[in-house]
Structure 1
Amino acid sequence: MTAILYSVPASTSCLFVRSLAKHIGFDITVKNVDFGKNEHLTEEYLKLNPFHKVPTLDDGGYVVYESTAIAYYMLRKHAPESDLYPKSLQLRARVDQVLATVATTIQPKHLSFLRDSFCENLKPTEESMAAFEEGVLKGLELLVGEGPFSVGDTLTLGDLFIIANLAVAFNAAVDPEKFPKLVEYYQRVKAALPYFEEIYEPAIATIKERWAQAK
């Protein structure tokens, strides 16, 4: 039975999980949850995820939610030897640090910014844009580090999570020219993902469409 990933097209967390599944060859069926129709609040969905969030993975009846928990589960089950999660204890700690920082510090600020723009159809004020750049993009700059990838010299889970956030940010209101280091990193990681267009282009199109509708 193919696993089902309950998702939202332009969600950074969902894009992260979908990228990982593609990277390790884990076959999933993506089922979009329409928040506008309150599908995340239905009795059926709340049985899967009582916190009514996405992503949620149903792997043959075994349900996991929260993007990082899903990522660890998929990796340990389907690609335990993958370089996406280094063998070195210290490098693993760094990857964990990136994932935790994105999930708990950066993404809440990112989501708050996008909620106003996309759900309320309001373009950001100068103040909200400045706060977004300071709290999200400068935070991502710190995580990117000085090497080719966020942790060490090879692609890891950390990069998959960071690029999901950059793909959304760079196709909304952000002026990429203000963040040349992030642009270079984005292009480098993007080139390392042969499935980037497949996973991200529909999401990017959605983001651009919603942004164009904002007033």
Structure 2
Amino acid sequence: MGEHLTDEYKEKVNPFGLVPVIDDNGFKLTESVAILRYLSREKGVADHWYPKDSHLQARVDEYLEWQHLNTRANCAMYFRTKFLHPMMTGKPASEKDVNRWLRSMNETLDKIENVWLKDTPFLNGNRISIADILGACEIEQPRMAGFDPCANRPVLSAWMDRVKKELNPHYEEAHKVVRLVTKKFNENPGNFNPK
């Protein structure tokens, strides 16, 4: 753990010191959206993941671009403000900042439920796509800070269940740490220790 923070990793793998990264026979990519688009184009995956049809692909891209400043930013900042920063510094979270990100995150989750999923079972249509993978993963993050993004959101909850069903057993394997941290945080939210 923490290999991505080493000088060697930054020099040889990713100069930003972040994950994910892929190395496809010497071709390196360091951003998740670019990685998923690349893999979809180059590795012969089923067309529904990132459709070749220009209109269908544009719908997937529409969510992928929207999510950067919405799903990703708001869910990540809530998690960071309420959970990660206090855990790393030992200082309590700023309630003002937590509430700010909570409002923004709730607005985003409501838009996913009422706009993106209004007429379709998946974010961009009737079939799962890379947009659903990214959306679901971002929405999992706040669980580790004691927030249930699906509470009182039946459309969002049903969509999350569909995504899990389509991706399992890999979905649960990929979220094993999320489940462990969520359980530990919920058992003792005031005095959380991840160890």
Give the TM-score range, shorter chain.
0.7 to 0.9
Amino acid corresponding to residue 103 of structure 2 in structure 1: A
Query: What is the RMSD of the two structures over their aligned residues, measured on CA atoms?
Result: 2.6
SS in 1 for 2:124: coil
Amino acid corresponding to residue 150 of structure 1 in structure 2: L
Match of 2:174 in 1: 199
Match of 1:182 in 2: 156
1:50 positional shift: 2.0
Match of 1:151 in 2: 124
Identity across matched positions, percent: 26
Amino acid corresponding to residue 203 of structure 1 in structure 2: V
Asked whether 1:109 is paired with 2:83, we answer no
Asked whether 1:61 is paired with 2:26, we answer yes
- The structure where strand makes up a greater share of residues is 1
Alpha-carbon spacing, 1:212–1:120, altered in 2? closer, same or farther (3 Å):
farther
SS in 1 for 2:48: coil
SS in 1 for 2:103: helix
Amino acid corresponding to residue 182 of structure 1 in structure 2: L
Equivalents in 2 of 1:124, 1:170: separation in Å? 19
> TM-score normalized by structure 1?
0.70
| Greater length-normalized contact order (CA 8 Å, ≥ 6 residues apart) | 1
State the Cα deviation string for residues 69-95 of structure 1 (Å, max 9, x = none): 111122222125532112321111010
**Conservation of the 8 A alpha-carbon contact between 2:143 and 2:178:** no
Equivalents in 1 of 2:153, 2:101: separation in Å? 14
Larger radius of gyration: 2
Which of 1, 10, 13 is the matching residue for 1:46?
10
SS in 2 for 1:92: helix
1:44 positional shift: 1.3
State the Cα deviation string for residues 3-32 of structure 1 (Å, max 9, x = none): xxxxxxxxxxxxxxxxxxxxxxxxxxxxxx
State the Cα deviation string for residues 123-144 of structure 1 (Å, max 9, x = none): 6737246324334422433333
Alpha-carbon spacing, 1:110–1:43, altered in 2? closer, same or farther (3 Å):
same
1:42 positional shift: 2.4
SS in 2 for 1:94: helix
Task: List alignment gaps of at least 5 residues for structure 2.
Answer: 191-195
Alpha-carbon spacing, 1:177–1:109, altered in 2? closer, same or farther (3 Å):
closer
Task: List alignment gaps of at least 5 residues for structure 1.
Answer: 1-32
Amino acid corresponding to residue 6 of structure 2 in structure 1: T
The structure 1 segments of at least 4 consecutive aligned residues displaced by more than 4 Å after TM superposition are 210-214
SS in 1 for 2:105: helix
Match of 2:105 in 1: 133
State the Cα deviation string for residues 29-70 of structure 1 (Å, max 9, x = none): xxxx52xxxx44422122222222221222333211010111
Amino acid corresponding to residue 83 of structure 1 in structure 2: H
Equivalents in 2 of 1:102, 1:112: separation in Å? 13
Alpha-carbon spacing, 1:212–1:40, altered in 2? closer, same or farther (3 Å):
farther
Equivalents in 2 of 1:167, 1:41: separation in Å? 24
Equivalents in 2 of 1:84, 1:109: separation in Å? 25
- The answer to which of 64-73 and 106-115 deviates more is 106-115
Amino acid corresponding to residue 68 of structure 1 in structure 2: V
Task: Say how many residue pairs are matched.
Answer: 179
Equivalents in 1 of 2:71, 2:85: separation in Å? 19
SS in 2 for 1:154: coil
Alpha-carbon spacing, 1:184–1:170, altered in 2? closer, same or farther (3 Å):
farther
